[in-house]
Structure 1
């Protein structure tokens, strides 16, 4: 496939904000400008914690060498983080034969709990962990939440928060919670602007979450909402693909029913939003002899089932809406049986994905592409053709990937505001 030129319309899909950040990526310990002394200290405390999160137990000299912080300043910060029960310091595992013994600083946080929740058409999931990264517990409440009425989901969300609060040991405290939702969030991030799979529009979830946390005595916890695609790619960057992603610019194509997108810059996610950032479904693609279409219209799981003749349109829409994994299995079964219609449709769909990869990599400077969800399964069967110099990883679908990512997001939110952890 020939490399595809990218015009201004393509660039608008990804948003000028992301393009600007991609051109001006800062180092890990860049301080930025503005703010008072307290803000700067909070910023530097957070950077020390992120360094330990990403690099594991490290000496003070190693931390200082990767920052603009002097050893005396760093010593005071480590003392403060010890007081907050966020780090430990002890003898390093490997010691020099001569001279003073070497000490290592490590992320602790055993006294502090973070939680991740996933709200989707099939119910509510939750997981808890310590800030240090130790898994504590899991929860799931299954129900069909389609239909546009958010009341059942809000009721289940309250029950999940009650479980989180009640499951925490008395010597621990809930300090941050991230809730992932499908669709787009409001500009201020406290409500669901639109979620087509749920039939929601302008649904306020923050009020019920705050009320339930206050009732459980955890009203000081940080609460954030995030798109499911953003937390999914964060979970991959912090977990199973950590070594492969590293600091590279990664483009995430995922979803269970249709394609959703997210971007990682230096290991940090920039998710799709109201401005259309990383809205990969809108990338224009073109099959030979046909008019240009949006990627989402070509690669939508219902469209694959219908166009291939595997299922009638109404049956495909119903199955994909309620049971996307079963719908994917039906399409894969048709491929396994050698149905020519399914094979031809998948080949064309992967060609469209290849065009989208070309466009996204050209605009964003992508070095790695992750295909997840149903695209990961299909991409492992037929590799999308493209000429861009990027690595493509096709992953099998994993039911807990989103809620795991929400836990990582909650931990990151807490590490960004360490001095306020006792508030």
Structure 2
């Protein structure tokens, strides 16, 4: 019997990539019909900006309205036979309503694959972390393999100090995976790329011993000989520590479960949270979106789950684009369709993942670099180089010349 695996996720994309990892390693245990039944409230898994939705996708004045996902259908969907699950997914729930909503939908997909999903209100108050860690400790002690979506997460780093698992797996959390592997290879402390270069704050210094212990555990051998470390990624990884196994994520689960999509004649634009993370100036970003949309005839803007409602409202007014809040990660939305024949993006994870998810469909993914003039005064000193690297290492994408005039 395969070793029991415990996975920790904090975002919808992390959970998607846990499902991709499980599929690649043969943990998927049943087949289900294609995604015809997996539709959101509007039938396509998307929620237009302005739709009355509260926490976790709640409708106006009522309980949460979940999309029709496979486990809720009756057309050909089968529940698993009673058996001990090979994989238990622990959702360390964030507080952001859009992220929570997408995570609940992804959790239903994971359950439909036959995996156990444990939802933890890990940030639901001052006592929540202690209750969560206390409740998870027995599972961590028994797990033979631990999968994590965000090795930079303090929550995950703290949980790593408890587990005795010999096998550790890091699945993609977007472009941050590239930085994680590079930092691990160089023996550096684990710091998110958009914060690198700044002075550590009091909380960073207080947590430094835990972060250092997590880095040692994520180094093959380390304090425990025989520990195996795997990185499962669709990102280009040029350097990795000795002994780390890198497995390519080709989005085979996504392509086997969803699509092929209906393709429209127009273009769609993918949003980014670079404004919210303090890297790009908000007004410059809106001007860039408007110019890019006009130049390429884009009509829809797929918002990142972390983009603020105020910014999206301003964007809709200034650009005339239809702003769409996806109910699932964009890779699944795009694979299901409808999707534009051209998908426009700024440097982000999707320039690496969408060509894989949409392989064979004829959809063109195009990326526009970030002009240095768009960066804020607070942006990390290495932000421009990192973003250029995201674009430069992307495969099967088209580069768009920077013709956007702002200021």
Would the TM-score normalized by the shorter structure come out above 0.5?
Answer: no
Of Structure 1 and Structure 2, which has the larger fraction of its residues in helix? Answer: 1
